[in-house]
Amino acid sequence: QVQLVESGGGLVQAGGSLRLSCVVSGTIFSINAMGWYRQAPGKQRELVAFITSGGSTNYADSVKGRSTISRDHAKNAVYLQMNSLTPEDTAVYYCNAVVRIMIVTTPKDYWGKGTLVTVSS
């Protein structure tokens, strides 16, 4: 009923930049928080950044100051601009959205399938 599709991953050299995009589609009454998580090989999935419906943001310390999360309510989209990338940023990046599909339902977490970001040294 709800689909999240990420795009924008790829191979980039250290010091470079990437902009990840995620669009939410399907049966949507409202979207609360949206965010980005990542999972590096052999590591647990971790929060990168999230943004509330009101526009408040929060970042992991590892990306603070070089990443910006934003959203477009009209497009049901969330973006992550990442600059000054390092090999430690290499991971699969997952989009997350807390979606209410009907006014009478409780919001639930939905996830995209992920997009791979590889940073070469």
Render 64-87 in DSSP notation, one character per residue. TTTEEEEEETTTTEEEEEE-S--G
Residue 103 has pLDDT above 90, yes or no: no
Q: Confirm if 92 and 38 have CB atoms less than 8 A apart.
A: yes
pLDDT band at 80 (very low <50, low <70, confident <90, very high): very high
The number of beta carbons lying within 10 Å of the beta carbon of residue 19 is 13
Which percentage of the chain shows pLDDT scores above 70?
100
Averaged pLDDT for residues 88-94: 98
Residue 23 to residues 13, 50, 79, 119, Cα–Cα distance (Å): 26, 15, 9, 24
The predicted-structure confidence for 20-75, as pLDDT tens digits, reads as follows: 999 999 999 999 999 999 999 999 999 999 999 999 999 999 999 999 999 999 99
pLDDT, position 35 = 98
Question: Is the pLDDT at 112 greater than 90, yes or no?
Answer: yes
| Mean predicted lDDT score pLDDT of the chain | 97
